[in-house]
Amino acid sequence: MGDSVKHLFITGGVVSSLGKGITAASVALLLKQRGYRVFLQKLDPYLNVDPGTMSPFQHGEVYVTDDGAETDLDLGHYERFAGVTCTRKSNYTSGRIYSTVLQRERQGGYLGGTVQVVPHITDEIKKAILSCEDTGADIVLTEIGGTAGDIESSPFLEALRQLRVDLGPENAVFAHLTLLPYLNASGELKTKPAQQSAGIMRSIGIIPDVLICRTEVAMEEEHFKKLSLFCSVPRAAVIEEKDVKNSIYEVPIELAKQGLDSLILRKFHLPENELDLTRWNAMVARAVNPDRGKVKIAVVGKYMALRDAYKSIFEALSHGAIDQRLDLNVRCIEAEELQNRDPAELLGGIDGILVPGGFGYRGLDGKIEAVKYARDNDIPFFGICLGMQCATIDTARYLAGFPDANSLEFDPDTAHPVISLMDEQKNVVNKGGTMRLGAYPCILEEGSKAQKAYGATEVSERHRHRFEFNNLYREALEQAGLRLTGLSPDGKLVEVVERPDHRWFVAVQFHPEFKSRPLDPHPLFSAFIKASFQGKQK
Ligand code: GLN
């Protein structure tokens, strides 16, 4: 193996939402299963410094890393597929690149020079990419957000063009993901948009080494040949990525069948090694053939119209179902709907209820209704972050005798702020990157549902919140049947609450969904799915 770290750049053409993240993650898995250490990174061309301040409607979920970065949801795919741990280095935006350059300019760091997109911004982009080399990876995969031809992605593509020259073609390989639209009216699969996106790349000075074609229907030999001819890509390097039938986890298997991973390794002049997908194949077989029955889970949230807003939650639920060999059916419920309708209408026939994280008052009372419905009907309940805060408010309002209990986030004047602002947050002014973020340890009470699920008493989970369980209410809420089963090691922060009078009622201040992987389903999600299925059997 050569000494140089290899770089695979993944760009996209024709349209956004092609599944570049899943493709990058799938390729990373294949390279890893051929014995290489991989690291993944996403470069996003927008000007927000990170997605932390963006609405989930704009951007989907904000994925949080162990080291506390608020990042793009594609990093979730990277971690789930390739089993890697992403860091701050795994996501850069134009905003982050520009703010570094502008700060340096204010400090006089450019010694009187004119600061320009080329070379100063492009140099900073190259630095961000090369910074991944000290992660110990043999191969760094860098996905470029946006679509070829976007004005704002051009500095990124220019930086990649330069890097290919700096590093040499055997160390910098380009994969271009593109779309072949299928025209129903004429029954034809069209290659022109793909030819044009490869053309845009060529005009920038980048000839893709590999062309990966997203398509709904199977490609014919003529399509491969045409694309090869017009895009300057050898026939063998035109790869079909057809929609998969049952599970996104089939994508790597399909790409491997076409030898995409071998092709990339050959471009890198690296030994092909053997590909070991034994565990992955077994997991996919379980995912597509659930043989123990069905389980119906309701997710009650505020951004239900956009499934990407809860990406990791849905994925973690599916991992729990794969683990339990169950067919998962998720009912997405807008929390506000529960405020105007009989909850039984919306939640009837449901085996388990999950209230995920969130911000802002809209829908809060509906989420609390969902907790109450789960509690009244002994339906397994899983609360996450805001969902844990709702579970706390539910006990306060309906069982502890504080009918106006609330979180200070939603009612600054409440007489019973059972959820209050964390001390360290009291002087925080800026919104971006200032929440309690990233992995913190938590100590679980022996014999609690959470402790039994994890099979451990000390765990580490990722956080993203400003508010917390108000310690002044510990005693009152414990008397009302809420058990505080997970605390920070100093005992000061309540991280997990449970109701022992209930079949399975566990709510956590952290976000376990970020650490769940298909080959390593999160124990709390598995336990929740298991309890939901058992409850249904009774
Ligand atoms: N809005 C709540 C807080 O800031 C919960 C955050 C969340 O659910 N991620 O504490």
Distance 465 CA to ligand 1 centre (A): 4
Are residues 391 and 497 in contact, defined by beta-carbon separation less than 8 angstroms?
Answer: yes
Question: Which of ligand 1's atoms lies nearest the C-alpha of 356?
Answer: 8
The string of pLDDT tens digits covering residues 166-219 is 999 999 999 999 999 999 999 999 999 999 999 999 999 999 999 999 999 999
Distance 365 CA to ligand 1 centre (A): 15
Q: How many CB atoms lie within 10 A of CB 268?
A: 24
* Residues above pLDDT 70, as percent of the chain: 99
pLDDT band for 427, please (50, 70, 90 cuts).
confident
Q: Could you say which of 120, 223, 465, 511 is catalytic?
A: 511
Q: Which amino acid is at 180?
A: L
DSSP H helical segments within 425-495, as ranges? 449-454, 474-479
| Distance in angstroms (rounded) separating the CA atoms of residues 146 and 9 | 13
Q: Could you say which of 385, 409, 442, 465 is catalytic?
A: 385
Are residues 380 and 535 in contact, defined by beta-carbon separation less than 8 angstroms?
Answer: yes
Q: For 286-315, what is the mean pLDDT?
A: 94
* Residue 208 belongs to a domain: yes
**Is 63 a pocket residue for ligand 1 (Cβ < 6 Å)?**
no
Secondary-structure breakdown of the chain: helix, strand, coil percentages, each rounded to the nearest 5: 40, 20, 35
Q: What angle, 0 to 180 degrees and rounded to 10, lies between the N-to-C axes of helices 122-130 and 154-167?
A: 60
Q: Is-catalytic flag, 176?
A: no
pLDDT above 60: residue 2: no
**pLDDT (0 to 100) of residue 1:** 43
Last residue of a domain, one of 282, 317, 344: 282
Both 265 and 350 in one domain: the answer is no
User: Cα torsion at 86, 88, 94, 96 (round to 10°)?
Assistant: 170
* Residue 250 belongs to a domain: yes
Mutational pocket test of ligand 1: of 464, 469, 509, the residue with most ligand atoms within 8 Å of the beta carbon: 464
- Provide the whole-model pTM: 0.95
Both 268 and 296 in one domain: the answer is no
Provide the domain count of the chain: 2
Residue 524: give its domain's CATH number. Answer: 3.40.50.880
Distance 75 CA to ligand 1 centre (A): 21
**pLDDT (0 to 100) of residue 508:** 98
Both 268 and 383 in one domain: the answer is no
CA atoms within 13 A on the CB side of 411: 14
* Residue 1 belongs to a domain: no
**pLDDT (0 to 100) of residue 444:** 98
The string of pLDDT tens digits covering residues 10-33 is 999 888 888 999 999 999 999 999
Are residues 225 and 259 in contact, defined by beta-carbon separation less than 8 angstroms?
Answer: no
Mutational pocket test of ligand 1: of 55, 382, 389, the residue with most ligand atoms within 8 Å of the beta carbon: 389
Distance 419 CA to ligand 1 centre (A): 10
Both 387 and 451 in one domain: the answer is yes
Both 336 and 485 in one domain: the answer is yes
Mean pLDDT of the chain: 95
| Distance in angstroms (rounded) separating the CA atoms of residues 145 and 219 | 26
| Distance in angstroms (rounded) separating the CA atoms of residues 367 and 299 | 10
* Residue 513 belongs to a domain: yes
Both 500 and 373 in one domain: the answer is yes
pLDDT above 90: residue 437: yes
**Is 466 a pocket residue for ligand 1 (Cβ < 6 Å)?**
yes
pLDDT band for 59, please (50, 70, 90 cuts).
confident
Question: Which of ligand 1's atoms lies nearest the C-alpha of 357?
Answer: 8
pLDDT band for 355, please (50, 70, 90 cuts).
very high
Q: For 111-116, what is the mean pLDDT?
A: 94
**pLDDT (0 to 100) of residue 181:** 96
Within 343-447, strands assigned E span 352-355, 381-384, 406-407, 417-421, 436-444
Last residue of a domain, one of 254, 282, 310: 282
- 413: helix, strand or coil: coil
Are residues 124 and 133 in contact, defined by beta-carbon separation less than 8 angstroms?
Answer: no
Token pair belonging to 479: 């008397």
Both 350 and 408 in one domain: the answer is yes
**pLDDT (0 to 100) of residue 305:** 86
The string of pLDDT tens digits covering residues 382-411 is 999 999 999 999 999 999 999 999 999 999
Q: Could you say which of 315, 319, 513, 522 is catalytic?
A: 513
CA atoms within 13 A on the CB side of 6: 22
Both 332 and 230 in one domain: the answer is no
Both 391 and 273 in one domain: the answer is no
The string of pLDDT tens digits covering residues 440-499 is 999 999 999 999 999 999 999 999 999 999 999 999 999 999 999 999 999 999 999 999
Bridge pairing between strands 294-301 and 238-242: unpaired
Q: Which amino acid is at 279?
A: R
**pLDDT (0 to 100) of residue 449:** 97
| Residue found by looking up tokens 């769940």 in the block | 516
* Residue 358 belongs to a domain: yes
Which residue range is the domain that position 346 belongs to? Answer: 291-537
Q: Is-catalytic flag, 513?
A: yes
Q: For 130-145, what is the mean pLDDT?
A: 96
| Distance in angstroms (rounded) separating the CA atoms of residues 382 and 525 | 8
Distance 357 CA to ligand 1 centre (A): 6
- The DSSP call for residue 132 is G
Are residues 227 and 208 in contact, defined by beta-carbon separation less than 8 angstroms?
Answer: no
Q: Is-catalytic flag, 511?
A: yes
**Is 410 a pocket residue for ligand 1 (Cβ < 6 Å)?**
no
Both 472 and 442 in one domain: the answer is yes
| Distance in angstroms (rounded) separating the CA atoms of residues 277 and 296 | 30
pLDDT band for 538, please (50, 70, 90 cuts).
low
* Residues above pLDDT 90, as percent of the chain: 91
pLDDT band for 57, please (50, 70, 90 cuts).
confident
Both 44 and 177 in one domain: the answer is yes
Last residue of a domain, one of 253, 282, 311: 282
Bridge pairing between strands 494-498 and 483-487: antiparallel
Both 21 and 158 in one domain: the answer is yes
* Residue 325 belongs to a domain: yes
Residue 244: give its domain's CATH number. Answer: 3.40.50.300
